[in-house]
Structure 1
């Protein structure tokens, strides 16, 4: 087996020829997709992986300098693409992986066909007339809480970001995912995430993309999703009925339907705001 596939714990599933890559967000691993991947196995070749430092990746290969920015994580994506000689992929990124996927597309555009952003944000920090959802003091508080008591932070944040009080088992599942990450790696990843600003790069994206926005999401507010939609060519914007930052866990059927509807629309050549009317 190729060493990259071992390093990133890559799994290849499904019966189809069209490749779809699912990329997990901060604090999670490929297991976070378990509620939706079965729906794609009959028609797609599904690629799952863990970023170095997450899940069952080879954590001995984690490099704090490399992964201090999102470009380090995009290198993982490109390494996997090259190891498997993938072309015309559909990349589904959750949260910070939305921008990681965008970076990878800009660096290796010939490999990508479509992008799906779930709960994306090009910048988390509020900036003049841009509302990312967080003030600088809020972000510093998060860094401090993770550094001082990561487990305590995961217990407090999981039900808030899941936003599914009637299904506490989903918050428990998310907390377990968070706790699988080494606290120092989690802190480095969250710092790379919250310090990022990829607003200027949005204009470099030309392939069709979908922004899936939860109706209520404290991590990625609608203002962030709307900004992506306004500033990205061929981006389609859907506000879901789902709430919280993890609709692929809390509302898998709605998430599956929106992704498949977008994929099925094969001939997107220019922006059409009426596509999802």
Structure 2
């Protein structure tokens, strides 16, 4: 019988997992919406000198994996399940996890399920909720989210052209081209589905349940995630050990646009 792509052993191959370096500690890098594992290419060579670095793609990068899972990825819990199975398949006992954007909360959910797999979480440009709510500024109101989803459905390539520079936020042609390329590789229907899942999620309830130490890293200015969100996360994460590091840069993708600053922050955090 062939092995299911969602089994512990098969998930690493299904999500195009790769391991670099052979350090004692395992460091997991998980990307965000619109990207794939190549978003880490600036930092992996350095980190692999000290850690066993695991990178993989989230399911939406691979239509066969995403489409075969029915409603599994209708919330971030499905991605957290993949992460747990991937680490079990690699026989990882404790890891340092770096999750960017949507993967920040994926890591939180996975650590709640299986705290034995994680020594520490690094939450990079993450948010538990993007919609504003009473007493909470997520950065977007409902009409803005609806407009984004409508634009994606109507003209996905045009939306990429508008959204990518906003997310990158710096005059960095290389980073912009990389992000536009990775966005363009995602099937439009899948991209809309994932965007809906991310932008309409509310995972504030999870923060007090996170059982492992967390470091929160963000750019000084990020139009996707307001600074108030990062400080909210620090306040609400239940283990009392979280801290916030502000990078002196702009944009949602410091691993592409300010990777020396990110590496310095990671050295300080882990």
TM (normalized to structure 2)? 0.93
| Count of matched residue pairs | 261
What residue number does 1:72 align with?
78
Shift of 1:53: 2.4
Shift of 1:146: 1.0
> Are positions 1:42 and 2:49 aligned together?
yes
Residue among 251, 257, 268 paired with 2:264? 257
Shift of 1:61: 5.3
Q: Does the C-alpha gap of structure 1 residues 60 and 243 become closer, same or farther in structure 2, counting only changes over 3 Å?
A: closer
| CA shift digits 1:114-148 (9 cap, x unpaired) | 00011011110000110000000000011111111
What residue number does 2:190 align with?
185
CA distance in 2, matches of 1:71, 1:60: 14
The list of structure 1 runs, each at least 4 consecutive aligned residues, that deviate by more than 2 angstroms after superposition, is 56-64
CA distance in 1, matches of 2:58, 2:179: 17
| Contact 1:67/1:188 (8 A) holds in 2 | no
Shift of 1:62: 3.9
Shift of 1:223: 0.9
CA distance in 1, matches of 2:235, 2:186: 35
Task: Compute the RMSD of aligned alpha carbons.
Answer: 1.4
Q: Which runs of 5+ in 2 are unaligned?
A: 4-8
CA distance in 2, matches of 1:173, 1:42: 25
What residue number does 2:134 align with?
128
Residue among 241, 248, 256 paired with 2:255? 248
What secondary structure does 1:53 align onto? helix
| Contact 1:52/1:61 (8 A) holds in 2 | no
Q: Does the C-alpha gap of structure 1 residues 115 and 57 become closer, same or farther in structure 2, counting only changes over 3 Å?
A: farther
What secondary structure does 1:122 align onto? coil
What residue number does 1:270 align with?
none
CA distance in 2, matches of 1:60, 1:193: 15
What residue number does 2:6 align with?
none
Q: Residues 206-225 of structure 1 correspond to what in structure 2 (within 5 A)?
A: 206-225=211-230
| CA shift digits 1:68-125 (9 cap, x unpaired) | 1000111110110111111110010000100000000001111100000110111100
What residue number does 1:269 align with?
none
Shift of 1:64: 4.3
Q: Which runs of 5+ in 1 are unaligned?
A: 264-277
What residue number does 1:275 align with?
none
What residue number does 2:234 align with?
229
What secondary structure does 1:237 align onto? strand
What residue number does 1:96 align with?
102
What secondary structure does 1:124 align onto? coil
What residue number does 2:23 align with?
16
Residue among 145, 152, 162 paired with 1:146? 152
| Contact 2:60/2:190 (8 A) holds in 1 | yes
CA distance in 2, matches of 1:170, 1:53: 21
Shift of 1:156: 0.9
